[in-house]
Amino acid sequence: MSKHIEPLKQAMVDAGRSLFERGLTGGTSGNLSIRVGDEWLVTPTNSCLGELTPSDISHLDGSGRLLAGKPPSKELALHQAFLSLRPDDQAVVHLHSTYGTAWSCLTHPDPGNVLPPLTPYAIMRLGQVALLPYRRPGDPRMAEDITRVAAGHRAVLLANHGPLVAGRDLAAAQSAIEELEATARLALVLRDEHPRLLDHDQIRELETTFGNSNTTGHVSQ
C-alpha cells in the first residue's frame, strides 16, 4: 500500500499549493481527502494548504487510527460521510473560496438546487448543488446533514461556510470545485440582471450526453 500512498500524498501537496496560490483558500482554511481502500489520507488540522509537505499528510486506517503524519482535519467525518454514499468517488475538496462562500450566505428558495444553470460546464461537472444548514465547524451534525443529500449530489454548499465537492479522484474533485467557484462568481455578477439560464431540454441533453454528475462518479472534463 505504501508505494501507492506516497504519490497520493504528493498530489495532495501539489493541489493544496495550487489552490492556495490562486487565492481559492487562505490561511488555514480548507481541507482535502482521498479514500484509499479502507484507509484515508487527509490534510491535517490547522494547516495551510499552501505550505504542506508529504510527511504532514494524515494517514489513517479504517478505524480512524493515525498511521502517519499530523493529526487530521476536524472535518474528516464530513468527508467520510460524503463518500460513504458515493462509492464511485474517492476524493473530497472543501474550500472557503470567496464566491462559493458568498453564495452560501444567501437564502435560496430550493435548498436542493441553489446554483443557477448558467453554463454547460456547471451541469457537466457539478449537477445540482445542495445547500446544507449552518453548523459550527466540526459539528458532528454536519455529517448527518450530508448523508441526506450525498447520494444525489456531488457538490454541496455549507451555509455561511463554503463549498464541498466529491470526485472520482482528487483532480476531478478539484476541477469541479473550481467550476463551482466560477459559477458562483457568475451568479453573483448576474444576480440582478435576469440572465438567460439553460432550460430543461438543454440540461437533459447535457446529462444524456455526458452523464448525470449528481449520481455517478463521472465528472466531464
Residue in 75, 178, 179, 181 annotated catalytic: 75
**And the C-alpha cell for 55?**
510527511
In the annotation, is 121 catalytic?
yes
In the annotation, is 75 catalytic?
yes
**For residues 117 and 114, what is the distance between their CA atoms, to the nearest angstrom?**
9
Sign of CA dihedral 197, 169, 156, 83: positive
Distance of CA 111 to the CA centre of its chain: 17
110 phi/psi in degrees, rounded to 5: -125, 100
Residue in 39, 121, 134, 207 annotated catalytic: 121
3-class DSSP string for the chain? CHHHHHHHHHHHHHHHHHHHHCCCCCCCCCEEEEEECCEEEECECCCCCCCCCHHHCEEECCCCCEEECCCECCCHHHHHHHHHCCCCCCEEEECCCHHHHHHHCCCCCCCCCCCCCCCHHHHHHCCCEEEECCCCCCCCHHHHHHHCCHHHCCEEEECCCEEEEEECCHHHHHHHHHHHHHHHHHHHHCCCCCCCCCCHHHHHHHHHHHCCCCCCCCCCC
Write out the catalytic residue numbers.
Answer: 75, 121
